[in-house]
Amino acid sequence: MSSGSGGNSVYIEAEGKRILIDAGLSEKKLSQRIALIDRPLSGLDAVFATHEHSDHIRGIGPLLRKHQLSLFTTEGTYKKAYRSMGKLPGFNPIRAGQPVDFGELVVEPYATPHDAEESVAFVIHYRGLRLGIATDLGRVTQYVINKLQKLDALLIEANHDVDMLDAGPYPWVTKRRIKSDVGHLSNEACGELLSSVKHSGLRIVVLMHMSETNNHPELARITAQQALGHDSPKMIIAEQNHPTPLMLL
């Protein structure tokens, strides 16, 4: 429903089960965005959080209190985010490698190299379909590559163009953080990950968490397309200020 350093949120549904991954927008904005894809914000089965950075948890406290939902996240994220989220109706601890089931919809957390306490991303399984989410990753590791094999769809970070970041207005320490092993994936690193996980069954790729200051959608798209080669899957660029249309797998 939104992606970028200003706030991230991904909505997933399968046969009546409805979940949200991250709520980096206010409850009000989230309900406006989800209305644009003809869904209500009420009646969610679960809200997950990947890590404690504000662009992922900003709206979580008000959202969960309003709808009386509990949060699914790691102990590390919960501890770090507790203060900014405030008291929640409930907390379900999750761990990398331990899938959570909602009927046939299965959410599998995996650990990510990022400068957060116990950050995770997810692979979602439903009746043999696999959707991977890979954002807020400092680098491409073999573990991440292994987790993202045989996907039908992949939501992947293409955060910055290295030259634009270097030449851009961010302070030196922020640039160093973004480029570090626990920062964000550049377009090139996104391409490297795509070329390691591409296969004929990959039908949709969504470029995510794109910096408005340090990237250009066309640069990211070209790099990703080059990595995917011929017969590349459908490619969509997730935006900060508009929801991506619902995609059917």
Q: Which residues bind Zn ion (CB under 5 A)?
A: 53, 55, 136
Please give the angle made by the CA atoms of 28, 32 and 33, to the nearest 5 degrees: 115
Cβ at position 51, least distance to Zn ion in Å: 6
Identity of the residue, 118 or 136, whose beta carbon is nearer to Zn ion in the bound complex: 136
Cβ at position 158, least distance to Zn ion in Å: 13
Separation between Cα atoms, residue 213 and residue 229, nearest integer Å: 27
Please give the distance of CA 205 from its chain centroid, rounded to a whole number. Answer: 13
Separation between Cα atoms, residue 89 and residue 65, nearest integer Å: 6
Number of H helices, E strands in the chain: 9, 12
Identity of the residue, 42 or 54, whose beta carbon is nearer to Zn ion in the bound complex: 54
Encode 124-189 in three state secondary structure: EEECCEEEEEECCCCCCCHHHHHHCCCCCEEEEECCECHHHHHHCCCCHHHHHHHHCCCCCCEHHH
Q: What tokens appear for 53 in the block? A: 């950075």
Cβ at position 37, least distance to Zn ion in Å: 22
Q: Which of 33, 45, 46, 37 is nearest to 7 (CA)?
A: 33
Identity of the residue, 136 or 161, whose beta carbon is nearer to Zn ion in the bound complex: 136
Cβ at position 97, least distance to Zn ion in Å: 21
Cβ at position 24, least distance to Zn ion in Å: 7
Identity of the residue, 198 or 211, whose beta carbon is nearer to Zn ion in the bound complex: 211
Identity of the residue, 18 or 56, whose beta carbon is nearer to Zn ion in the bound complex: 56
Torsion sign across C-alpha atoms 162, 190, 110, 52? positive
Cβ at position 178, least distance to Zn ion in Å: 10
Specify the residue for token string 């030449």.
167
Identity of the residue, 81 or 123, whose beta carbon is nearer to Zn ion in the bound complex: 81
Q: What share of the chain is helix, strand, coil (3-state, %, to 5)?
A: 30, 25, 45
Residue closest to Zn ion when measured from CB atoms: 53
